């Protein structure tokens, strides 16, 4: 059985299903996962179903097109088949990474209309670039090959509101709120709505923080192999707007 960039060829999986049912196909997939590196080097590779390289700019366009489908109520629900499930059980090659808020109203795969293996998603309240989040994004970018990171904030973010108020918080809630406060302070004297200004400032702050605090991400950005952008999600319309 051939492997293409870690994926099992579609034709081979269909053949397996045809000669022995799902059980044989699943067993074969498991066998591929456990095969040795030496076997991989001697197995001929073709272009069948090989994941196409996606540039940072094309990755961003792909995400925004998916969001447009979501807004229009015309979701394509791509890469959500049983076959895709089997393909991604062997390996993953997400073309984009999302640092998003943990808010239940902003599920990245849904609002961008993507499927299994398309996005590497890190979610934490306030979409803050914590050390754990940075490590996860280093893995997705340097190891898995994701060429885009979008820091996705949203309107009415409770974590940002808490940072604006500055009240004492119980437990560990204050940990991530503290990582938002520098952004809030940078716009506290700015005219306009402080909450809205702070949400945008926080997105921009976390975008800057990623390459500044990670030598891995910074190097990839400098080499043109990675793009980091910010976006804000509108809870009412579902639209993602880029934040520069």
Q: Which of 81, 94, 119, 90 is nearest to 7 (CA)?
A: 90
Cβ–Cβ < 8 Å for 101, 127: yes
Q: Is the pLDDT of residue 38 over 50?
A: no
Alpha-carbon dihedral angle through residues 120, 25, 42, 47, given to the nearest 10 degrees: -60
Residues 6+ positions from 4 with CB-CB distance below 8 Å:
45, 46, 47, 48, 49, 50, 51
**Alpha carbon distances (Å) from 123 to 100, 103, 109, 177:** 5, 8, 12, 15
Where do the domains of the chain lie?
Answer: 3-42, 56-243
Superfamily of domain 56-243 in the CATH hierarchy? Carbonic anhydrase (3.40.1050.10)
Dihedral sign for Cα atoms in the order 185, 190, 193, 198: negative
In DSSP terms, which residues pair with 122 in a beta bridge?
Answer: 99
Which of 46-55, 76-85, 228-237 comes out lowest in average pLDDT? Answer: 46-55
Question: What is the per-residue pLDDT across 85-118, written as a single tens digit (0 to 9) for each?
Answer: 999 999 999 999 999 999 999 999 999 999 999 9
Q: What pLDDT does residue 30 have?
A: 39
Question: What is the per-residue pLDDT across 135-189, written as a single tens digit (0 to 9) for each?
Answer: 999 999 999 999 999 999 999 999 999 999 999 999 999 999 999 999 999 999 9
In DSSP terms, which residues pair with 231 in a beta bridge?
Answer: 152, 242
pTM of the model: 0.79
Dihedral sign for Cα atoms in the order 164, 165, 166, 169: negative
Q: Is the pLDDT of residue 121 over 50?
A: yes
Cβ–Cβ < 8 Å for 133, 209: no
Share of the chain above pLDDT 70, in %: 78
């Amino acid at each position: 059985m051939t492997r293409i960039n870690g994926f099992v060829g579609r034709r081979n999986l269909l053949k397996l299903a045809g000669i022995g049912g799902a059980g044989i196909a699943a067993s074969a997939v498991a066998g591929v996962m456990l095969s040795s590196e030496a076997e991989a080097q001697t197995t001929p590779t073709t272009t069948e179903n090989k994941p196409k390289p996606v540039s940072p700019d094309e990755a961003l366009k792909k995400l925004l097109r998916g969001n447009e489908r979501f807004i229009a109520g015309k979701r394509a629900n791509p890469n959500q088949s049983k076959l895709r499930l089997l393909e991604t059980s062997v390996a993953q090659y997400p073309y984009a990474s999302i640092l998003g808020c943990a808010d239940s109203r902003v599920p990245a795969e849904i609002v961008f209309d993507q499927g299994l293996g398309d996005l590497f998603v890190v979610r934490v309240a306030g979409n803050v670039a914590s050390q754990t989040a940075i490590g996860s994004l280093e893995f997705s970018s340097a190891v898995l090959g994701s060429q885009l990171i979008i820091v996705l904030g949203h309107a009415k973010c409770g974590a940002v509101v808490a940072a604006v108020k500055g009240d004492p918080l119980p437990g560990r809630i204050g940990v991530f709120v503290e990582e938002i406060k520098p952004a809030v302070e940078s716009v506290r004297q700015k005219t306009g709505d402080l909450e809205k200004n702070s949400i945008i400032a926080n997105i921009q702050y976390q975008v800057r923080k990623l390459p500044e605090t990670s030598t891995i991400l910074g190097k990839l950005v400098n080499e043109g192999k990675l793009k980091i952008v910010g976006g804000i999600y509108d809870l009412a319309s579902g639209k993602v707007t880029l934040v520069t």
